[in-house]
Structure 1
Amino acid sequence: MAKHRIFTMSFAKVYPNYVQKAEKKDKTKAQVDELIRWLTGYSQDGLEEQLEKENDFETFFAEAPHMNPARKSIKGVICGIRVEEIEDPLMQEIRYLDKLIDELARGKKFENIKRD
């Protein structure tokens, strides 16, 4: 079975869209980065290194230092699909990130987005 197209997309190519979506709602790149770091365990330097390498989503998540166990509490619909019901583990990780960015852009309190 062929890989889903998003798995082979460069994370660095999609990242500006995350930032742009947040900035349109008066949120910041720093907040986007903090959410990505919260989810994946990357340091800021590690995140920037991933962006420089232009790794695909599959590699980006495979190399993540420590996926936050609290991510399993992320619920809701993104792209018309409930994130908690996605069966493919990589697709679920990608959609967790999408959901975090979506919540940031929708004005949810930053402390509540991180689910700590």
Structure 2
Amino acid sequence: MVRHKIFTMSFSKVYPHYVKKAENKGKTKSQVDELIRWLTGYTQEGLENQLKKDNDFETFFAEAPQMNPSRKLIKGVICGIRVEDIEDSLMQDIRYLDKLIDELARGKKFENIKRH
């Protein structure tokens, strides 16, 4: 099976891009962190520890305390592919995160981003 390059990319190297994308649209780092915590179950301290460890995406998601079951309610297109149709679970979780950050940057109501 082909391993995608993003699986081995450092989460801590991509994280600043998530923050920058949000801040460029008037959102905050704390909102980005809140969405990541909502998705993964990390505490703020746990998230900061992951960033310090410089783990890759695969490890970041593998060590997530509790992936939010409501993430399956995230629908739509990211990178030209419908997130709900992605078969690889790790790739799907990565794209869920991309979709959350994209919705934040587009100004979607914050509480609506976190599906209930």
Tell whether the structures are fold-level matches, with TM greater than 0.5.
yes
Unaligned runs of 5+ in 2: none
Deviation at 1:17, TM superposition (A): 0.3
Q: Which runs of 4+ in 1 moved over 6 A?
A: none
Specify every segment of 5 or more residues in structure 1 that has no aligned partner in the other structure, as ranges.
none
Verify: 1:14 aligned to 2:14, yes or no.
yes
| Residue of structure 2 equivalent to 1:46 | 46
Provide the C-alpha distance between the structure 2 equivalents of 1:22 and 1:109, rounded to a whole number of angstroms: 13
Alignment of 1:89 with 2:93, yes or no, is no
Q: Percent identity?
A: 82
Residue 62 of structure 1 aligns with which residue? 62
Distance in 1 of aligned mates of 2:16 and 2:92: 21
Superposed CA offset, 1:24-72 (max 9, x none): 0000000000000000000000000000000000000000000000000
Aligned length: 116
Shift of 1:3: 1.2
TM-score, length basis structure 1 = 0.99
SS of residue paired to 1:97: helix
CA RMSD in angstroms, aligned pairs only: 0.5
TM-score by length of 2: 0.99
